[in-house]
C-alpha cells in the first residue's frame, strides 16, 4: 500500500510539473523574436527622435583684434593670398573679399627704426561694391573656411 501511495504521489507531481512548464513556455528564448540577440529592434524603437530645436548661429571664432600683430606668413597660413596687395612706402594694404564682406589689413614694419618685419597694425571691414553695409559677423571665419576649402 505504501508503494501505491508513493506511485500516486509521483504521478500527482508529474502532471503538476507539466502544467507549470506549459505556463513558462512563452518565456523561453526564441531566435528572431523582439529582444532576442541579433533580432531587429521593435518598430517603436526605430522611430525618429523628437525634433530638436534649431541650432543657434555659431559664435564667430575670429575677430579683427585677433589679426593685429600677425605676420605676413601668419596671414597667408590663415587666409591665403590676398585678392589685392598694394604697397605704399614701407606699408602694405592687403584686401580679402569673401561672401558679403571685404577685409582690409594694413601692415607696417615694427621696431624702433621701422625697418623690422611687417605685421598687421590696423584691420577693418569695408563695404562691397554695391555700397551695402558690410557683413562683419563671421566674416573672418568665412574667409578662413574658404581657404581651408
pLDDT digits (tens, 9 = 90+) for 88-112: 999 999 999 987 789 999 999 987 6
Q: Which residue has the cell 510539473?
A: 17
- DSSP of 17-30: HHHHHHHHGGGS--
- What distance in Å separates the CA atoms of residue 147 and residue 110, rounded to the nearest whole number? 27
- Predicted local distance difference test score (pLDDT) of residue 72: 96
Report whether 99 contacts 142 (CB < 8 A). yes
- What distance in Å separates the CA atoms of residue 96 and residue 85, rounded to the nearest whole number? 9
Give CA 140 to chain center in angstroms: 19
pLDDT digits (tens, 9 = 90+) for 82-93: 999 999 999 999
- Predicted local distance difference test score (pLDDT) of residue 9: 56
- What distance in Å separates the CA atoms of residue 18 and residue 55, rounded to the nearest whole number? 61
**Of 147 and 29, which is predicted with more confidence?**
147
Banded pLDDT at 29 (limits 50, 70, 90): low
Reply yes or no on whether the pLDDT at 135 is more than 60.
yes
- DSSP of 3-15: HHHHHHHHHHHHH
- Predicted local distance difference test score (pLDDT) of residue 91: 94
The arrangement of secondary structure in 64-148, i.e. its CATH architecture, is 2-Layer Sandwich (3.30)
Banded pLDDT at 14 (limits 50, 70, 90): very low
For 13-20, what is the mean pLDDT?
49
CATH 3.30.1450 domain position(s) in the chain:
64-148
Residues in the chain: 149
**Of 18 and 66, which is predicted with more confidence?**
66
Please report which helix (H) or strand (E) contains residue 121, including its range: strand 118-126
Amino acid at each position: 500500500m505504501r508503494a501505491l501511495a508513493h506511485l500516486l504521489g509521483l504521478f500527482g507531481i508529474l502532471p503538476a510539473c507539466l502544467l507549470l512548464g506549459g505556463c513558462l513556455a512563452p518565456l523561453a528564448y526564441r531566435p528572431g523574436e523582439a529582444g532576442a540577440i541579433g533580432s531587429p529592434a521593435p518598430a517603436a524603437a526605430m522611430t525618429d527622435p523628437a525634433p530638436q530645436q534649431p541650432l543657434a548661429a555659431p559664435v564667430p571664432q575670429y575677430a579683427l583684434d585677433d589679426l593685429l600683430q600677425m605676420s605676413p606668413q601668419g596671414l597667408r597660413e590663415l587666409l591665403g593670398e590676398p585678392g589685392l596687395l598694394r604697397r605704399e612706402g614701407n606699408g602694405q594694404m592687403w584686401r580679402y573679399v569673401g561672401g558679403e564682406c571685404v577685409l582690409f589689413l594694413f601692415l607696417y614694419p615694427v621696431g624702433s627704426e621701422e625697418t623690422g618685419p611687417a605685421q598687421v597694425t590696423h584691420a577693418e571691414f569695408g563695404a562691397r561694391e554695391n555700397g551695402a553695409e558690410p557683413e562683419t559677423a563671421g566674416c573672418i571665419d568665412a574667409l578662413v573656411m574658404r581657404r581651408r576649402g
